[in-house]
Amino acid sequence: MTGYALLFAVALILLAPAAATSPAYSTPAVHDRFSYDETVSVGNGVGDYAGYSDSTAINGSVEVTAVHSNGTAQAYYYNVNHYTNTDGQDYRWTSSGPFGFSWQTFLYVNGTDNETGYVNPTVWFYIDNGLTAGSGVTLLDSSFTVVSTSNAYDLGTAAGGWVKTIFIEGNGSYARDDSYGEFNAVYNWKAYFDPSTGYIVAYLYTEQDSNSSGDGFTLTDSLAVTQTSYPLTPATGSSSSTGTGSQVSDVLLYAILGGIVIVVIIVVIVIAVLVSRRRRRLPRHSMTGQVPMAPRPVGPPPPPVNLIPGGQPPVQQIIIKETVKVNCRYCGSLIDSTAEKCPFCGATRT
């Protein structure tokens, strides 16, 4: 082996470990920052949870404040929270503080951004942007699979419209035991990340909780970035896009169907009004307050009306004639003017 060949071989041996350990993904930079809106809702209650609902609105942000050569970064989070429920409770509070994370292992170091109940979790807002479809990845303590590395997602916020994303999805279950009670929880989690930086773009978490007593509820957690210090990658939306893009298409479809139903209802109402106007109505009062008379019917006269109840024959009339009385010339008694003699004294009238 010549001297040049020996030097070249030594150089390859020295550079090989460095090449093996150098990340194939983007690394965070100081002042990388994103803001987001998040809504956590509980509803669709059954059993003891029938009629109950609550909602927590979160306006949050995460900013990288330092990047170290050992593969870690320092960051700061700030959240404004608002909680309400159907029991009338209404709370507002803020939470903030520093924390660290590794951009090599993606684990939290030196605290978290207020994530509780986890043991040595990975960060939820940053992944390896060099992953390929079918690869496995972890957020917090949930396992995911990369579905697509070029998914078109309709973000619909000031941060962007249709953007290109890495789409990952995970399903799982766990035993809930907290202020809500003890439940068996089954969940689906869809998350979308920027392929250029590996930072979060949006996610939708859906969980169904139930127990043996028939109690249960649905919990949803939706998040979307509203502002980023780095540009997101634009994409062209389509009805076949996975995630919110398809959800938006479904919403649009429902809106179109709803519009068709409304138009049909209006047409039915108009037809009903027109038909009702053609029907014969009672005569309206004229301007003089008189009601027009209906025309007299043409035809033979009606039969005579019998006013005698039960159809009995008419009763014959009896006329009583009265006779004029005069005084007797002899005894003065009243006698009929037609009598020839007085019935009292026997004298003749003449």
**pTM for the whole thing?**
0.64
- The answer to the question of residue 72 being in a domain is yes
Confidence at 173, pLDDT banded by 50, 70, 90: very high
pLDDT the model gives residue 335: 74
- The answer to the question of residue 70 being in a domain is yes
pLDDT the model gives residue 61: 98
- The answer to the question of residue 219 being in a domain is yes
Helix H, strand E, coil C: the string for 45-96 is EEHHHCCCCEEEEEEEEEEEEEECCCCEEEEEEEEEEEEEECCCCEEEEEEE
CA 244 to the chain's CA centroid = 17
- The answer to the question of residue 350 being in a domain is no
- The answer to the question of residue 201 being in a domain is yes
- Output 321 or 148, whichever has higher pLDDT: 148
pLDDT the model gives residue 344: 75
Give the count of domains, the chain.
1
CA distance 197 to 323: 140
Which residues are paired to 56 by β-bridges? Answer: 40, 83
- The answer to the question of residue 278 being in a domain is no
- The answer to the question of residue 193 being in a domain is yes
Tokens of 10: 């030594």
pLDDT the model gives residue 7: 43
- The answer to the question of residue 191 being in a domain is yes
Domain that holds residue 42: 26-235
Confidence at 329, pLDDT banded by 50, 70, 90: confident
CATH number at 231 reads 2.30.230
Which residues are paired to 342 by β-bridges? Answer: none
Does the structure show a pLDDT above 70 at 330?
Answer: yes
